[in-house]
Structure 1
């Protein structure tokens, strides 16, 4: 009987944990597979840990990984995946927006020969228009500047086979954009669309700051285009400078030097433009150097404070390493 690991990160979700778990177990109850649950407490400050421990005390299939602080959604997912022992690994959020009812279909698709089962959020009436617009813009930009195509509307609700997960964990990035990393691997995949449901309780913990950080990790981890933009802008203004030199020399050749009048405003304009281009280039370089600096320090993506349950770590797991 195949083992299916379900990895679920939580951050300050005390109101919905029990309801979500009841819904999840009701779905998998009829499935002819063994299941294990990896709950990752991503530094919650409420009663999330206590709620998870109550579930674990009743259901030995539940394993709890408590991180020492909030390391972020991607790191929390990695913590669970590095411990998962299943033949099939499913990652999902525990707020109810990723419907557990799709799990049987995801497993069926994996059994039919797919290595990766991706899910794609469909637009829903009443959804935040600003969030929808920025999401569409982000995916258009990242797919334009990157060689790796990321599924628009993609979610971290996916199924991976053991082979795919082992290769994913072998990628040592510190700044992790899992949707792009999974796409980069290139295994046989299929897309399962779904309409996101309402949260069971509480509010989303994915703030604007966290979304911008994820977008930054995606852009600077999967593309060198920002550097090429700066280089192209510098080349463009170099051509303009050559054109200006030729234009001024034409007055000298014609002997019409008196027609050359100093243009303070145009000079300042060019200086400001050139200065802006230089600052943009230096800014892009600085970001890449910063990413390199964080990579070479080899700090872990997360730190585990406590583990609860019959946890048997896989030999290829990195634990608190990258």
Structure 2
């Protein structure tokens, strides 16, 4: 059976797709053909015994090997498997977003498809989520990476991201995470922001926790990450920092910078005017050029802040997107309502 959601081809393995799964496991794949059967075997071995309806949403992100072909074959043989085939290689964040869109479970678990994440940790991370959290992240406390060149940058990145975002986790890079569906629906993924999902979730007011998980050696293939990943992380970190602090108030950063620049420019210009009146030549002084540049830059920054405010209003109003999130509504003893009634939102 085939379906079409947001332009993404979906192949369902079983005939009965109307059963609402309570758990969706979302796994992006890129050139993971060698370990695909083993990955599916381990996932089914862990999830089938828990006696809850589940689905495995595996996304082929434009692989150049036969990952897509094997995934289609397995989907026709496995009722719980949903194969999502992207038209080309978009990257991990778009692939994960496609999996979120296709998934139907109340709880969504993400993990890598390279067999380094242990499926045995899935029940544990789901149980922790159900203790009252919106997002639970895995912590690879004993990493099995061979190269120190991957461990050291990872530790530095985790420390830097925690300080900048205020969401302090030991392991931002661990893909094994569990989410409540309502949280995922509130977050829009783009660029390379998949590694900052806890920080994005904190913007939505999510309750976040972290548990230790197993980490295994990669049995097949090789890592897809290169040195350019470091620069992408830094750029995305600046994006997250801005979103956390100034998403709904861009004027507070651009307007302040603009006013500061204009004020400094005015003071410099006033000083130069006094000097000119006293008979000195100011035409060749660098301070004159600096005051002009600061004045122009200040006006531009202030205008940019105004444009940012207009864009934010358009963004929220066009999507009917609220600037706040309500976790619960507790109703007192009022006519027509149960005393102390609690509504989850």
Separation (CA, whole Å) in 2 of partners of 1:219 and 1:240: 27
Which runs of 5 or more residues in structure 2 are unaligned? 1-19, 320-345
Separation (CA, whole Å) in 2 of partners of 1:137 and 1:262: 46
Report the count of equivalent residues: 287
Maintained 8 Å contact 1:174/1:295: no
The alpha-carbon distance between structure 1 residues 249 and 58, as it changes in their structure 2 partners (threshold 3 A), is: closer
Q: Deviation of residue 258 (structure 1)?
A: 4.0
Which runs of 5 or more residues in structure 1 are unaligned? 144-148, 299-322
| 2:115 corresponds to | 96
Separation (CA, whole Å) in 1 of partners of 2:199 and 2:311: 20
Separation (CA, whole Å) in 1 of partners of 2:175 and 2:224: 15
Render the CA deviation track for 1:84-107: whole Å, top value 9, x for unaligned. 333432121212333323112113
| 1:182 corresponds to | 201
The alpha-carbon distance between structure 1 residues 3 and 173, as it changes in their structure 2 partners (threshold 3 A), is: closer
Q: RMSD between aligned alpha carbons?
A: 4.4
TM-score by length of 1: 0.67
1:168 to 184, 188, 202: 184
Say if 2:171 is the partner of 1:153: yes
Aligned to 2:136, what secondary structure does the other structure show? strand
2:82 to 59, 63, 66: 63
Q: Deviation of residue 37 (structure 1)?
A: 1.0
Maintained 8 Å contact 1:14/1:47: yes
Maintained 8 Å contact 1:43/1:66: yes
Aligned to 2:123, what secondary structure does the other structure show? helix
Maintained 8 Å contact 2:142/2:214: yes
Maintained 8 Å contact 1:117/1:159: yes
Separation (CA, whole Å) in 2 of partners of 1:137 and 1:278: 33
Separation (CA, whole Å) in 2 of partners of 1:204 and 1:285: 44
2:164 to 134, 141, 149: 141
TM-score by length of 2: 0.63
Render the CA deviation track for 1:129-171: whole Å, top value 9, x for unaligned. 345434543443344xxxxx475633442223xxx31453255
Say if 2:248 is the partner of 1:218: no
The structure showing larger relative contact order (alpha-carbon pairs under 8 Å, at least 6 residues apart) is 1
Q: Deviation of residue 10 (structure 1)?
A: 1.0
The alpha-carbon distance between structure 1 residues 187 and 286, as it changes in their structure 2 partners (threshold 3 A), is: closer
Maintained 8 Å contact 1:173/1:295: no
Aligned to 1:16, what secondary structure does the other structure show? helix
The alpha-carbon distance between structure 1 residues 92 and 265, as it changes in their structure 2 partners (threshold 3 A), is: same
Render the CA deviation track for 1:107-148: whole Å, top value 9, x for unaligned. 3224444443232455858252345434543443344xxxxx
Separation (CA, whole Å) in 2 of partners of 1:267 and 1:53: 68
Q: Deviation of residue 31 (structure 1)?
A: 3.2
Q: Deviation of residue 216 (structure 1)?
A: 6.2
Say if 2:135 is the partner of 1:116: yes
1:235 to 240, 259, 269: 259
| 2:29 corresponds to | 10
